Amino acid sequence: MVRLKEEPLRKLSFALFEAVGAPEDEAKIVSDILVDTSIHGVDSHGVRAIPGYIRGIQREPEAPRALVPGTPIKTLVDTPTTAMWDAGKGFGFVAGYKAMSTAIEKAKKYKMGSVGIKGTGHIGALYWYSYLAAKNNMIGLTLCRGGGHGVAPYGGVEGRLGVNPLCFSIPAGKYRPIILDMATTGVAMGHLLVMSIRGQSVPEGWLIKPDGTWATDPGDIRKREARPVGFGHPYSEYKGYGLSIIVEALAGAIGSGCSLDETGFGHTFTAIDPTGYCPLDEFTGRIDSMIDHLKSSKKRPGFDEILYSGEPEWREEDNRRKLGILVDDPFWEAIVKTAKELNVDIDGIMKDGYVKA
């Protein structure tokens, strides 16, 4: 692994996206989200994905998985509290940022706001958008019905659903926001790639083979020899499956189609102002009290501390801001290769960007 400094990495990402024609504002939004995600410890959805997005831009615009920077967002529906947009083949990151920002503005006026988007652009880690709401003292909810039909339903072995993650972010007072960002499968696809690169196996119950037996090699996904299933094994897989159906419906049927007839992504970004229910300080005070109550529990053997949802990532973010951002060697090598192919001066940009061990 290499450890990299935050600002040089932002500059490098920005330069790479500009080199393939991304407008300045879009290159900045995408770079900020990807680098923030790596700082937050979510390596599967951070800077390691840059070369993949670059390849998407380099495809012919008519190709099914092409990414076309600068694509205008079309407004299909707009009301005081809701909207539905078509982002087409534009950056999902850009549409997602604008959608949650719009939901927040609607919530400032009417206490709730929600914007749906459809399109083929991936938005990365959902936490970033929900956290945007929390930074505005609002509850944030992001739903994503994933492109493709790669996930098997409970009791089946053929793909019928997307990974379909969801994320809640809830502001607190003395604590940093509660964040629950999770796939409705055992783990997200990006995590499986990271595990494969690191030579790790997956537990039985995450991936199912065509014959109905469990796979433990995360590389089987890329070889199309296994499919993910809902989280929980074997007694509670139906719970992840049930949540996946709900996300498929709420982020799909509202405007982007469902997986049986649509291979793009569907998202909803919702902001809720807690002052529509009670004063903000009362709300955040109760959240703090709830977290205190959780942490007061007697601990199980092997546990030194009880953490709340999102706290491990907040701690990892603190570490990476001090010590640098970790990037696996194969992912960094792919970024370097991409930079050289695009004639981006990676040596100049990253001259002082490495953290020495």
Map the chain to HEC letters: CEEECHHHHHHHHHHHHHHCCCCHHHHHHHHHHHHHHHHCCCHHHCHHHHHHHHHHHHCCCCCCCCCCCCCCCEEEEECCCEEEEEEECCCHHHHHHHHHHHHHHHHHHHCEEEEEEEECCCCCCCHHHHHHHHCCCCEEEEEEECCCCCECCCCCCCCCECCCCEEEEECCCCCCCEEEEECCECCCHHHHHHHHHCCCCCCCCCEECCCCCEECCCHHHHCCCCEECECCCCCCHHHHHHHHHHHHHHHHHCCCCCCCCCCCEEEEEEEECHHHCCCHHHHHHHHHHHHHHHHCCCCCCCCCCCCCCCHHHHHHHHHHHHHCEEECHHHHHHHHHHHHHCCCCHHHHCCCCECCC
Distance CA 334, CA 322 (A): 25
Structure tokens at 263: 């291979």
Q: What is the mean pLDDT of residues 321-342?
A: 96
Share of the chain above pLDDT 90, in %: 83
Residue 238: pLDDT band with limits 50, 70, 90: very high
Task: Give the mean pLDDT of 104-121.
Answer: 97
Q: pLDDT of 292-314, one tens digit each?
A: 999 999 999 999 999 999 999 99
Q: Which CATH architecture has domain 1-70+324-357?
A: Orthogonal Bundle (1.10)
Is domain 75-186+229-276+300-309 in CATH 3.30.750.24, yes or no?
Answer: no
Residue spans of the domains in the chain: they are 1-70+324-357, 75-186+229-276+300-309
pTM metric for this prediction = 0.94
Q: Average pLDDT of 9-30?
A: 98
- pLDDT score, position 260: 65
Which range has the worst mean pLDDT, 94-108, 125-139, 178-192? Answer: 178-192
Each residue's pLDDT tens digit, 242-292: 999 999 999 988 877 776 666 789 999 999 999 999 999 999 999 999 999
- Mind listing the pLDDT tens digit for each residue in 123-167? 999 999 999 999 999 999 999 998 778 899 999 999 999 899 999
Supply the pLDDT for residue 146: 83
- What per-residue confidence (pLDDT) applies to 151? 93
Q: Give the residue among 320, 333, 346 at the shortest CA–CA distance from 12.
A: 346
Res. 234: pLDDT tops 90: no
The pLDDT score that the predictor gives to residue 312 is 98
pLDDT band with cut points at 50, 70 and 90 for residue 197: confident
* Mean pLDDT calculated for residue range 185-198: 85
For residue 114, pLDDT over 90 is answered with yes
Can you tell me the distance from the alpha carbon of 200 to that of 208, in angstroms, rounded to the nearest whole number? 17
pLDDT digits (tens, 9 = 90+) for 213-228: 999 999 898 888 999 9
Position 188 scores a pLDDT of 81
What contacts 24+ positions apart, CB below 8 Å, involve 299-308?
308/175, 308/178
